[in-house]
Structure 1
Amino acid sequence: MNVVLAGLLIAVGVAVPAPTAVTRVTSLAALQTALDNAQQGERIELADGAYTSSKAITIKRSGVTVAAEHVGKAQIRGKAGFVFAAGVAQVVVEGFDLRHDGRLAVPASAHHVRITRNVFELNVPVVPDDAGGFVEVNGDDVEVDHNTFQNRTNEGVYLHVGGPKPGIAKRTWAHHNHFYNHRFSGGNGGESVRIGNSDRQKESARTLLENNLFEKADGDSEAISVKSSDNVVRHNTMRDSRGFLVLRHGNRNAVDGNILFGTGIRFHGNDHRIINNYVEGGRDRQVVFGSGKEADSGPTSKLHDRPDRVTVAFNTLIGTGAVVDSDGGAFLPKDCVLSNNVITGSSSKFVDMKSGSTVRYEGNIVFGGSAGMPSGGYRTVDPKLVRDSHGLLRLSSGSPAVDASVGSFPYVTTDFDPQPRVAKPDVGADEYDVAAVRRPLTRADVGPSAL
């Protein structure tokens, strides 16, 4: 399936044939035998119970599903878990409680693999210059959905999109996962999700990361770290986390319709679109224009890249202090846009951009403090936000934000609900509509048991 999201063409979905036969096994040895002899379309189910592995369980055949008989009731501990043979395709791994040593890795030669409704609480050792993901996606067209990733205490990530070098895994679709409780105390290397690496930043991954819940993402200052190009991060919820949603390297990424509480968005690189996000917290720095040590990163640079031509538009930002600001560094934001945002809270200066940054300000509404923007780029007026039953501040009837946007943004076709942007779009993340139904994701919406 091909969809256009925030102006980017993204292909999603793993086509796996419906099972033609079901084989039930009651031991890991029998599971391996069944996998060795599986026919295309076969579903192999492991009976409920706790199992201890002494070696990897290898999936050698394409077109098969290996599953727990009942979701979450087959637990695998021990030395290793599932391993994919080179070149397999249309394989599903479903419903396991995985507590073993080592990661689950999809090799670069495999494709159209689905990893669904599992719990990952693995023992993955730290390896220098390695993401150390619980799940490593190196092949194309991989779907990772309705899983729980939890309770990591060492360096490494929960989900890493990698791939061959040179190159990167294409069209990963990660959705309805719960990323929970990463407590690594080091200064770097503990993201929940990393899409790419610094040496892949120019590669077009086209990952779609959507409808995931991030809680206690405390393993790194970056909970989501995008280090590649042409990805979409949308409709995720993040709360109780020190990590930010960060575009660390790469170009042309879209951050659309996310709900963030107590954290924020930071970006480097070129031509990104930061639109329709709802960011609320009791601190400053809801949106950070990252500046840094070079104007444009080379293909293998690890330095912070200056943001060029980044658009930050139609967001609702609620906080104290400098809600929008820029990092220090010699290379300041260039030719960026801050447009049609609602910025409220309490501040002596809502926008605190470093002198020398070149940003076009237009159509913003601020209330509760000094704008910190040039005159003509904003209005100081009460946007009349009201808190709905789900705790989100929305536009109310008669808000001056309704039909008040300026400029042309043809790729902003929906708001954060998402509902259509009609006629002249409203300022902020919310297009006024009394029938709005969006709410922050909860644990009931994600993970193995969610619909």
Structure 2
Amino acid sequence: MKYYIFLLFLVVLLQINAQVVSNPAELQTAISNAKAGSIIELVDGVWQDVQVSINVNATNSQPCIIKAQNPGKVFFEGRSNISLGGSYIIFEGVIFQNASGLISSNDRIEPVIEFRDTSNNDCEHCHVRNVKIDTYNGTSSQEEDVFKWVIIYGAYNEVSYCSFLGKNGVGSIINDNHNNSTPDYSKIHHNYFADRVPVGGDVNGLNDQDAIRIGVSSRSLTDSFTEVYDNFFNNWAGEVEIISNKCGSNKYYNNSFRDYQGTLTLRHGNNTEVFGNYFFGNNNPFSGGIRIIGEDHKVYNNYFQDLNYRKPSGSGSNTTGALNVSNGKPDSALNEYYQVKNVQIINNTIVNSDYAIRVGTKTNSTLTLAPENVLIANNIMLNSSISAFQEITPPIGTSKYEGNITQNGNWDLTNGTNSNQTVASGLLTSGSDFYRLPLGSAAINAGIGSFSFLTKDILYGNREVSFDAGAEEYGANGSVGPYKATDVGITIGFGALNSLAVGQLNFKKNEIKLYPVPSNGVLNLMKSNTIIGDVKIYDALGNLLYTDIINTNTAKIDISHFSSGVYLLKTNKAFSRFVIAQKS
């Protein structure tokens, strides 16, 4: 909703406050003079070799905005890149394509978008959105040079509603460097990642070919508090790690993976949550799920289907399986394998996959520390062709397996112990896109334990007190399903922000009267004939600042605590802009 509101705000604001530029020289002049509240619009057309470094300290209520005048009709080509430094900068609406003349220095190519200016000033509260980077690659001789498309520095930054297509060569698409030990609070959401090709066609080859990497091993024991959610990964092959988590206290949720190779890997760091994600491997070799290393993670409400644990060569892999709990290395260095400890893996659903759950996997002979204090509970598994539950290294401490249910699959558990059970039929039924719980399933009301974080199911229906095993709660009627190709440009990826705004633009401006404007203390509202109803006030970035229900046709709102700037007031069927004057 905040993005809808922000777009409505821009519809009004941009008409009166935008500077239009038509070539790189004019753009550079506008950027040199930019300040809080500046809005720079790029005219339609091909822009060649655009290299921009901006440092502006704008504000929450008056961001600095650089945008395509018409999103999707501005093309940055050749050797083009954007560097953002300062605060509250928004960059949007541009397509990067037809790269040429990219320069390698020390086996690295400068990123396409960087949240740091050329003087190494980080960005904070900056937002890149509604941008497409399409097959923007170096030459074949540069494919082993590190070329990261987006690098995030600083704090409270966002990348959203973007499409990243056809990446090849070494380098993450989005790399949050977590470049110091302070939290990042980054948000990466509603993006589309598709059609990556690994170097030499070998998904088991070179590292650093992931879609998203959060953190770095040298600072992996510090917290980032980054959230990666509502992204779609499609037709993807890079390396074993599609997402590589390398720091602590992050969240990965509501993401969809289709027709891919690799895993979401908790490689370093602790206290991360992975929930509500969908994995459809399409039986591709080397298609895994969630790989778990480190401490205090929670992995729940995830769905996995048609995963194939083999490498493209046909040999098996220790890094795959729907849920893969690794062994650790004694006295591990920061860039090696820390022991798995105090991890909860609960209420996941796994269908038609070679290996469902694997415990104590190894990638080499030095990984001898078994997982410790691991709870694996209430997971359901259908048609595991090799093993529903494989215990390679028995876990230690208070580790426990309970309430897990399988149908048509062998496992290393004892039926009847800790309510682990196999059933002959009726566990799941095929739905339009994924397997669902049918009436009478053994998973209904079969959940064991109590988990404060397990309040919703994968579809965001409410969990009952007597909750079900697996990712879904039968009859909860949630509606947050997996993303499909038809969602691209509609609810996720480049163009979606425009599509989402269309319905909202039917709101009628000025059906509600606000006065005085500018205001510095009290805002008066008046609506003819009907009550005002639901009222919300947003700042220029779409942050909700005030909400109330007013059952009269006039009202006064105290806004004396708001800072100067432009705001948007919205009711059920109307919106209006108002300004708070600079305070003396």
- TM-score higher than 0.5: yes
Aligned pairs for 1:258-407 (under 5 A) are 258-262=277-281, 263=287, 264-284=289-309, 285-294=321-330, 297-298=332-333, 301-326=334-359, 327-328=361-362, 329-347=367-385, 349-358=387-396, 359-375=399-415, 376-377=417-418, 378-381=420-423, 382-389=425-432, 391-407=433-449
CA positional deviation for 1:306: 2.1
Give the corresponding residue for 1:106.
Answer: 115
> Which SS does the other structure have where 1:31 is aligned?
helix
**Distance in structure 1 (CA, Å) of the matches to 2:322 and 2:395:** 18
Q: 1:364 to 1:357 in 2, by over 3 A?
A: same
Question: Amino acid of the residue matched to residue 351 of structure 2?
Answer: I
Contact 2:198 2:209 (8 Å CA) reproduced: yes
**Distance in structure 1 (CA, Å) of the matches to 2:453 and 2:145:** 36
**Distance in structure 2 (CA, Å) of the matches to 1:355 and 1:114:** 45
Aligned pairs for 1:19-168 (under 5 A) are 19=13, 21-53=17-49, 56-61=51-56, 62=58, 63-84=63-84, 86=85, 88-99=86-97, 100=99, 101=102, 102-103=110-111, 104-107=113-116, 109-121=122-134, 122-123=136-137, 132-164=147-179, 166-167=180-181
User: For 1:373-398, what per-residue CA distance to the aligned partner results, in whole angstroms no more than 9, with x for missing partners?
Assistant: 13414111245312222x11111122
**Distance in structure 1 (CA, Å) of the matches to 2:76 and 2:354:** 48
Q: 1:409 to 1:97 in 2, by over 3 A?
A: same
**Distance in structure 2 (CA, Å) of the matches to 1:37 and 1:150:** 34
CA positional deviation for 1:423: 1.6
> Which SS does the other structure have where 1:51 is aligned?
strand
CA positional deviation for 1:181: 1.8
Give the corresponding residue for 1:181.
Answer: 195
Give the corresponding residue for 1:199.
Answer: 218
Higher mean alpha-carbon deviation, 356-365 vs 414-423, is at: 356-365
**Distance in structure 1 (CA, Å) of the matches to 2:153 and 2:458:** 31
Question: Amino acid of the residue matched to residue 137 of structure 1?
Answer: I
User: For 1:408-446, what per-residue CA distance to the aligned partner results, in whole angstroms no more than 9, with x for missing partners?
Assistant: 111111110111112211100001127343322124232
- In the alignment, structure 2 segments of 5+ residues that lack a partner are 103-109, 200-204, 282-286, 310-320, 501-584
Contact 1:392 1:439 (8 Å CA) reproduced: no
Contact 1:258 1:416 (8 Å CA) reproduced: yes
Contact 2:137 2:168 (8 Å CA) reproduced: no
Q: Identity over the aligned pairs, expressed in percent?
A: 27
Contact 1:332 1:354 (8 Å CA) reproduced: no
User: For 1:219-253, what per-residue CA distance to the aligned partner results, in whole angstroms no more than 9, with x for missing partners?
Assistant: 11100000000000000000111120110000000
Q: 1:418 to 1:294 in 2, by over 3 A?
A: farther
CA positional deviation for 1:128: 13
Question: Amino acid of the residue matched to residue 337 of structure 1?
Answer: L
Contact 1:342 1:383 (8 Å CA) reproduced: no
Q: With structure 2 as the length reference, what TM-score do the two structures score? A: 0.70
Number of aligned positions between the proteins: 432
Aligned pairs for 1:2-17 (under 5 A) are none
Contact 1:95 1:117 (8 Å CA) reproduced: yes
- In the alignment, structure 1 segments of 5+ residues that lack a partner are 2-11
User: For 1:272-293, what per-residue CA distance to the aligned partner results, in whole angstroms no more than 9, with x for missing partners?
Assistant: 0010000111435111111142
User: For 1:83-105, what per-residue CA distance to the aligned partner results, in whole angstroms no more than 9, with x for missing partners?
Assistant: 22x4x111100010123543111
1:232 has 2:265 as partner: no
Higher Rg of the two aligned structures:
2
**Distance in structure 1 (CA, Å) of the matches to 2:155 and 2:210:** 22
CA positional deviation for 1:129: 12
Higher mean alpha-carbon deviation, 309-318 vs 20-29, is at: 20-29
Question: Amino acid of the residue matched to residue 129 of structure 2?
Answer: T
> Which SS does the other structure have where 2:355 is aligned?
coil
Higher mean alpha-carbon deviation, 243-252 vs 176-185, is at: 176-185
CA positional deviation for 1:60: 2.7
> Which SS does the other structure have where 2:30 is aligned?
helix
Question: Amino acid of the residue matched to residue 228 of structure 1?
Answer: C
CA positional deviation for 1:177: 0.3
> Which SS does the other structure have where 2:225 is aligned?
coil
Higher mean alpha-carbon deviation, 314-323 vs 212-221, is at: 314-323
Contact 1:283 1:319 (8 Å CA) reproduced: no
Q: 1:96 to 1:365 in 2, by over 3 A?
A: same
Contact 1:72 1:96 (8 Å CA) reproduced: yes
**Distance in structure 2 (CA, Å) of the matches to 1:321 and 1:57:** 49
Q: With structure 1 as the length reference, what TM-score do the two structures score? A: 0.89
Give the corresponding residue for 2:471.
Answer: 429
> Which SS does the other structure have where 1:401 is aligned?
coil
Question: Amino acid of the residue matched to residue 94 of structure 2?
Answer: F
Higher mean alpha-carbon deviation, 178-187 vs 337-346, is at: 178-187
> Which SS does the other structure have where 1:199 is aligned?
helix
**Distance in structure 1 (CA, Å) of the matches to 2:30 and 2:436:** 54
Contact 2:83 2:114 (8 Å CA) reproduced: yes
Higher mean alpha-carbon deviation, 247-256 vs 345-354, is at: 345-354
**Distance in structure 1 (CA, Å) of the matches to 2:25 and 2:218:** 40
Question: Amino acid of the residue matched to residue 333 of structure 1?
Answer: P
**Distance in structure 1 (CA, Å) of the matches to 2:494 and 2:34:** 25
CA positional deviation for 1:124: 6.3
> Which SS does the other structure have where 1:139 is aligned?
coil
Question: Amino acid of the residue matched to residue 330 of structure 1?
Answer: T
CA positional deviation for 1:80: 3.0
Higher helix share: 2
Contact 2:461 2:476 (8 Å CA) reproduced: no
Question: Amino acid of the residue matched to residue 117 of structure 1?
Answer: N
CA positional deviation for 1:130: 9.6
1:215 has 2:234 as partner: yes
Q: Moved runs in structure 1, 4+ residues, more than 3 A?
A: 15-20, 99-102, 121-132, 346-349
